[in-house]
């Protein structure tokens, strides 16, 4: 019998590497798709491959800081080895690799991108599904291009807290298992303005059925390598869409429509909760319709459809809140193009886009019905929604607070929603009373409150909340991270003891603060 290697955490928790080793690991992706002949190696082009085997970098002083007990339970792990989940060790069964993919970045084809700072450890079989475990920030890979393969604490906290929060908001998402600080220093120029500074390095272990993206297919089409394209598609279908078959045009179209539909559903949820992804490049679009690659994302506070948190996108605002659905369609078109070489009747691909649009409208109507407590939302109700959208933009109005207080309104009186406004002097009372009266009449004085309370979260990870957690963590105080992690496990519950602190509009200090209103891709 093997002797279980017990490792001691630097922060005093006894660790059990054998637990990780006891999981049922597999490597379906690398077993079934062609890969790089070389292991590791310098950043370079890797034509003809779907992956490169790599070795995660050993952290100098790994410390486990955040842990998702829920995710761990699914994987049958207890608090596990920070050394492994910080990148240090590879246990038996893992076969670490970086995936090769391409992508359209901000509308332009960028060719090979790939996992520049993500390393998959392997796939773990649970009683119900197989899940991929991936480290983000564990060092360079052949796809790191000019960068270091590292991640900093602030962006890792943002990914950990937000992906877990999204899961509890019922928004399709990848999840997080752990966050480990590495003890290494990582230099970043946060606003790309010539002020590089040392930051704390960190690694998040994230989890999903797979991290296959639209760009995973695009790269092979761009290479003109249709055999690999087909192999990758067959692999994807076999394990992740077993109900589909892609042996003919009809099967492929059916599958593409499935992807279009889950993508539309995901984006409609973003719109429902006020989430702005920030970098909807095709390499950041999951084939499973999951929110993936949390970077310079943000949450709408003031209801402004033109807002994007991503300063890198400030000039064109391509990825602004109000344009996410259109970008979803654009990205689906790029996926359809990538799959086109496998299809005879290329014209038929337009039906995938039509399906996306129809489904998006359907999902949006459901969401609006639920947000406003209107049972049987009809086309004729759209006027009420359009009017509401305009009104919400007239003066600075907090999206989350508005919809949440609306759940409790018991007469059509604008006084009851005054908490949602930033400046009480400027509330357009007459217009609001008018809209509330129309809404009240439509719901017959009986809005479906229980549905509203499940569609309109009380707590989301507002940009300034994440920043407060980061500021404290950078001083070694993780209490706010833990508090928010817990708070956001029940985003639809009242949690009255948390209200004063977290059910609040953006404080003034956060209005122009880097990390709150301005974020960059530097992470
Ligand atoms: P993103 O905008 O985060 O989706 O990243 C776009 C591409 O840049 C992906 O291929 C990433 O793997 C790569 N990348 C981003 N940051 C780093 C980094 N620090 N080191 C290596 N590659 C990176
Ligand atoms: Mg990415």
* Closest CA to ligand 1's atom 23: 116
Q: Could you say which DSSP state residue 509 is in? A: G
What pLDDT shows up at residue 80? 61
Which residues form the pocket of ligand 1, taking CB atoms under 6 Å from any ligand atom?
Answer: 113-117, 143-144, 147-150, 279, 283-284, 293, 295, 521
What pLDDT shows up at residue 89? 80
What pLDDT shows up at residue 9? 35
CA–CA dist 188, 196 (Å, integer): 5
- Mean pLDDT of the residues in the chain: 94
CA–CA dist 450, 407 (Å, integer): 8
CA of 347 to the centre of ligand 2 (A): 30
From 56, 145, 297, mutation site for ligand 1 pocket: most ligand atoms within 8 A of C-beta: 145
Q: Could you say which DSSP state residue 493 is in? A: S
pLDDT category at 18 given cuts 50, 70, 90 is confident
Residue range 487-516: mean pLDDT, rounded: 94
CA–CA dist 111, 215 (Å, integer): 9
Contact 200, 295 (CB under 8 A): no
Q: Where are the domains of the chain?
A: 19-210, 215-369, 379-446, 463-510
For residue 345, what are the CA distances in angstroms to 260, 334, 336, 349, 471?
A: 19, 17, 12, 8, 55
What pLDDT shows up at residue 7? 35
From 147, 279, 522, mutation site for ligand 1 pocket: most ligand atoms within 8 A of C-beta: 147
Pairing mode, strands 175-188 and 197-208:
antiparallel
CA of 425 to the centre of ligand 2 (A): 43
CA 368 to the chain's CA centroid: 22
pLDDT digit string, tens, across residues 363-407? 999 999 999 999 999 999 999 999 999 999 999 999 999 999 999
Q: Residue written as tokens 């969401």? A: 367
CA–CA dist 111, 230 (Å, integer): 19
Which entry of 115, 184, 283, 313 is annotated as an active-site residue? 283
| Residues contacting residue 158 through CB under 8 Å, at least 6 positions apart | 294, 297, 466, 470, 523
413 part of the active site: no
CA of 187 to the centre of ligand 1 (A): 15
pLDDT digit string, tens, across residues 324-345? 999 999 999 999 999 999 999 9
pLDDT digit string, tens, across residues 415-469? 999 999 999 999 999 999 999 999 999 999 999 999 999 999 999 999 999 999 9
Bridge partners of residue 310, in order along the sequence: 519
Q: With 50 as the cut, is the pLDDT of residue 164 above it? A: yes
Q: What percent of the chain has pLDDT over 70?
A: 96
pLDDT category at 83 given cuts 50, 70, 90 is low
For residue 148, what are the CA distances in angstroms to 137, 188, 218, 408?
A: 9, 10, 25, 50
| Residues contacting residue 363 through CB under 8 Å, at least 6 positions apart | 264, 265, 268, 269
């Amino acid at each position: 019998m093997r002797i279980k290697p017990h490792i001691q955490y630097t922060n005093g928790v006894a660790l059990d590497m054998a637990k990780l080793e006891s999981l049922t690991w597999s490597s379906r992706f690398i077993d079934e798709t062609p890969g790089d002949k070389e292991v590791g190696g310098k950043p370079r082009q890797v034509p003809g491959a779907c992956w490169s085997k790599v070795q995660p970098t050993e952290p100098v002083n790994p410390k486990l800081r955040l842990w998702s007990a829920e995710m761990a339970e699914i994987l049958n792990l207890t608090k596990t080895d920070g050394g492994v989940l910080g990148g240090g060790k590879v246990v038996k069964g893992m076969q670490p690799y970086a995936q090769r993919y391409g992508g359209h970045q901000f509308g332009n084809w960028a060719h090979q991108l790939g996992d520049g700072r993500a390393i998959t450890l392997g796939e773990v079989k649970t009683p119900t599904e197989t899940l991929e475990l991936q480290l983000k920030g564990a060092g360079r890979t052949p796809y790191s291009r000019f960068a270091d393969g590292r991640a900093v604490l602030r962006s890792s906290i943002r990914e950990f807290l937000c992906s877990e929060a999204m899961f509890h908001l019922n928004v399709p998402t990848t999840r997080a298992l752990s966050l480990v600080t590495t003890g290494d220093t990582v230099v970043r120029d946060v606003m790309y303005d010539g002020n590089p500074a040392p930051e704390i390095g960190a690694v998040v272990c994230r989890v999903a059925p797979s991290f296959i993206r639209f760009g995973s297919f695009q790269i092979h089409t761009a290479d003109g390598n249709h055999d690999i394209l087909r192999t990758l598609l067959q692999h994807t279908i076999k394990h992740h869409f077993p109900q589909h078959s892609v042996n003919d045009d009809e099967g492929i179209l059916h599958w593409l429509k499935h992807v279009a539909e889950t993508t539309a559903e995901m984006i409609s949820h973003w719109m429902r909760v006020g989430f702005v992804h920030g970098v909807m490049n095709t390499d950041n679009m999951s084939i499973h319709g999951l929110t993936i690659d949390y970077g310079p994302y943000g949450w709408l506070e003031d209801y402004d459809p033109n807002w994007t948190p991503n300063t890198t996108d400030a000039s064109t605002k391509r990825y602004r809140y109000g344009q996410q659905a259109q970008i979803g369609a654009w990205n689906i078109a790029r996926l359809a193009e990538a799959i086109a070489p496998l299809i005879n009747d290329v014209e038929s691909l337009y039906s995938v886009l039509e399906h996306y649009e129809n489904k998006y409208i359907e999902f949006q109507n459901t969401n609006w019905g639920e947000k406003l407590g209107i049972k049987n939302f009809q086309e004729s109700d759209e006027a009420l929604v359009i009017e509401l959208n305009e009104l919400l933009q007239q003066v600075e109005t907090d999206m989350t607070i508005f919809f949440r207080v609306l759940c409790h309104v018991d007469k059509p009186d604008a006084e009851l929603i005054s908490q949602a406004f930033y400046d009480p002097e400027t509330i357009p009372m007459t217009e609001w009373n008018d809209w509330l009266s129309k809404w009240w009449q439509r719901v017959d004085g009986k809005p479906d409150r229980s549905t509203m309370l499940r569609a309109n979260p009380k707590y989301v990870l507002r940009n300034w909340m994440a920043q407060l957690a980061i500021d404290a963590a950078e001083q070694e105080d993780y209490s706010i991270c833990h508090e928010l992690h817990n708070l956001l496990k029940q985003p639809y519950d009242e949690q009255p003891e948390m209200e004063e602190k977290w059910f609040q509009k953006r404080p003034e200090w956060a209005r122009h603060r880097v990390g709150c209103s301005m974020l960059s891709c530097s992470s």
